[in-house]
Each structure stands twice: as C-alpha cells, then as structure tokens.
A and B are shown apart, each in its own frame.
Chain A
C-alpha cells in the first residue's frame, strides 16, 4: 500500500495566520478522518502522521490525539510524536514515553517552527534516543537558519544508529545539499515532499530509489491538491514498477514496518 511519510493530522482545520483554534475537552476525529478518507481515495493506505498544532503549542495533547487516532486506525496511521527540545530532559522523557508506552513510531522535529538549532544538545539527545529505541526522526528541512540539510547531516553522522529523514529533501534551493547529505550518510532518507521534478530526478539518479520516500505535507494546506500534486510528481519520473514501488511504499515499510507484516498486535481488521 502507498505510504505517505509526511502528513500532518490536525484536531481541527485552521489557518496558521489566524492563530490556533481553542482546544476542546473532547477531541474530534472529524478532520483527521476526512484526511484519511482523502488519502484512501488516492490509494494511500498508510500515513506517517505528525501534528501541526503541536509544533507551535504544547505537545502533549496532540501526541495523545495521534495515539488515539492510531488506535482507531492502526494500519492507516503510524503516529509520530513531537516534543519541544527547549524543555531539555522533560522533552527526552516525553519522547521515551510516547514511543515505549504509547507505541508512537517516530519523532517529528520542525526546527524552523520550533525555533531550535540542530546544534542544541537536546536535539542531539533526542536523535540519539530515537536510534536507541529504533524509531526514525523526520525533520523539516530546506529552510535556513535552523533546518538546512547539512546541519541535519551532521546529526546523522554523529548518530549513525538513527534513521534520519529529510522531510523536504532541501526544498527548491538546497536539494543538492540533501543529495550530498544522503551520499555521505547511509542512515539518511530523502522524502520527495515538495521536491521539484528536476530535483527528484537527480535524487533518484544519484542516491538511488532505495532511499527515497513518498510524502505530501498533507494538512499543511489542501489535502487533495497536495496528494495529487505529489503523485503526479512521482509519475513524472517515468520509473519502472520496481523503483516506483520502492518510493511509494517499500522503503517506508523498511523504516516503519507495515502492521500487516509486523506480527501480531497490530492489524487493520478493526478499522472502521
């Protein structure tokens, strides 16, 4: 099944320029279920689900929301937590709890929105801890001053036991650095989310289809439009079936196994 490795599931749809909507006592799954429905319509059966509000607000309520969503949709939703590295040890403990007790599948860091340098000792602790727990770190990248590919590559080099995903592969201006980073460090994967046709083609040529992931940034804007745009982007490469499958889902499943193949305890049969 196609896996979208870069999505944001929100409690309620909102515009960042308008501010966060007030939190309600009981979170609704409506917006997330609408997103899951859209993904399904395009054949995307699984999503690495990150928060959006939690990148600029307290993280805990949004991490809990994603956990509840994943319990309802254990196949379609692979929940990624986020934490605020500025909180130091508390952030590390929250991350550990989210993975070890709540079963979250990875960590999302957005250094630009979270206003934290990748030189932070607490970012380093989190990346190290991710590797120790066997989960990946999905970074926003492509944006100076805090989220450039080579800054993140330094972390990947320092913690080679951790799988590091460049969530935008450098965006428009820095994709050549994303390619350099991936060639230097075997633990770096490149997400095709927001890549240009030319940029993605070079990634496939120079890094190989075995380390490229499909992603849409859905939730950071209109879900349908983003999904269609990124499926078109992959199609525009004219790849053979094997390479296309690697990018659309096989690579993702080597990082976060599909529960169908992950053994008992997780499965899609209970999904409504």
Chain B
C-alpha cells in the first residue's frame, strides 16, 4: 500500500511535533503540510511562521510548512511572507474567515504574486459564508492562473454543491478532502477527475485516522484512491 501525503494539518505549538510525527507513522503518512494554529494565522503570523520554520528544518523529509500573513498587514505582511518562504516554508495558508476579508478581494493579490514567484501553492480555507466560499476562491484563482490553489475542506460544511463546480472554473484549483462526506468526494472524482483532489486531515480539528479510513472506503478505483492519498500531492510537495 502506498504512503500517504497529508496536504493540510495544524501544529499549534512546537511541543506538539512529536505527537504529530507519531500519528503520521501510525497512519503511514509520509509527509504532511503543516499550518500554525488559529491565533498565529489570524494575527500573530510571525510567531507561527518562525515556529514552523524551526520545525521543518528539523524534519525536512516529513513536514512542509505553510506560512500565514494577514493581508491587512500590507507591506509588513508581504515582507513576512517572503521572509518565511526564504526560511524554508513551502506554501501559503489563507484563512479569510479568521483574517477578516472576502476571499475574492484584490487585497490578497500581492501576496499571491509572491507565491507565483516562489512557485508555492496557496491553501485556502473554504466553507464559511460570507468570507470563504468556493466561488470566491475560483474568482481569486482565475486572476492568478499560474498559481496552484487548494480549496480547503471542499466547502465544508454547507457548500458541498459548489466545491467541484467552482473548481471547474479554474483549472489551477484543487480540492482538499478533510471533513467532507465520502459521497461528495466520489461525485467530485466523477465530475473533475481524481487528479484534482488532494487528501488532507485538518488534524487535530478532525481525526486523522477517520479521514484516512474515509478515503480508503470510497467507491472509486484503487488508482484514484492512490492519486488522492499520495500521487497528486507528490507533484505539489516533491
């Protein structure tokens, strides 16, 4: 059975890294993309980014860090994002609900432009009205066709109907599976193809083992399960 790559989980504090690695070992997760906790994403970006940079330096084969920078911080935030990517972080985490702006707003554009420059993916929380909805993300992704965007949680809770249709508008938009029901993921495979779907746990908010079991039970071909659990993400986080 192939290994797993988790494109989205959280590390709230450095002391939690041992538990994270143990959980990854138990579930055969080879690599995980980690974001900081809520406060560090919402406003204390520098603290979270520094913590992540330290952790991924110690575990470069297992962990890839996603930086946060609230767009309201303007030039200071742009500098922080650039500094974090220079320090070894590999992606950009956006949580427009926590950070207080509409995901479609142009305020994020200069940050995404840095991601294009560094060729790093942009992970966006979706599913929370009115600031973090799939079609807002499609709008953003449409303005930045060279950047790879990840639609976090596939619009969970109530935007499951929108998730795949939004992704159809922007070929650079991928869906991430945490929290979403299996039937909706199966429908997205039929609609978009398994190549546009990435596995994520959103642990510890969700239970990583439950998320893995959910994907393994999908009524889709084994090759599609392998693509979702690992192969698609390997291109993203080589």
Residues of A near any B CB (own CB < 8 A): 17, 112, 142-144, 168, 171-173, 194, 196-199, 221-222, 225-226, 228-229, 232-233, 236
Contacts and interface: CB of A to CB of B under 8 A. Distances in A.
Nearest to B157: A171
A232 B212 CA distance: 11
A172 B98 CA distance: 14
Interface string B156-188: 111001000000000000000001011110100
B210 A144 contact: no
B217 A225 contact: yes
Contacts of B157: 142-143, 168, 171-173, 194
Contacts of A173: 97, 127-128, 157
Nearest to B205: A198
A236 B205 contact: no
A172 B181 contact: no
A196 B210 CA distance: 10
Interface of B: 97, 127-129, 153, 156-158, 161, 179, 181-184, 186, 202, 204-207, 209-210, 213-214, 217-219
Nearest to B160: A221
Q: Which 4 A-B pairs have the closest CB atoms?
A: A197-B207, A225-B182, A171-B157, A222-B183
A198 B158 contact: no
Grouping DSSP codes into helix (H, G, I), strand (E, B) and loop, the A interface class, with mixed when no group exceeds half, is: helix
B201 to A, nearest CB: 10
Contacts, number: 69
Contacts of B202: 196
Nearest to A225: B182
B213 A228 contact: yes
B136 to A, nearest CB: 15
Contacts of A171: 157-158
Nearest to A229: B214
Contacts of B153: 172
Contacts of A143: 157-158
Given A142-B158, A143-B158, A198-B204, A229 B179 contact: no
Contacts of A199: 205
Contact of A197 (B183, B204, B217, B218): B204
Given A17-B161, A172-B156, A197 B205 contact: yes
11 contacts: A142-B157, A142-B158, A143-B158, A172-B153, A196-B205, A225-B214, A226-B181, A232-B207, A232-B209, A233-B207, A233-B210
Contacts of B206: 196-198
Contacts of A168: 157
B16 to A, nearest CB: 14
Given A171-B158, A221-B183, A229 B210 contact: yes
Contacts of A228: 213-214, 217
Contacts of A226: 181-183
A232 B158 contact: no
A172 B181 CA distance: 13
Nearest to A194: B157
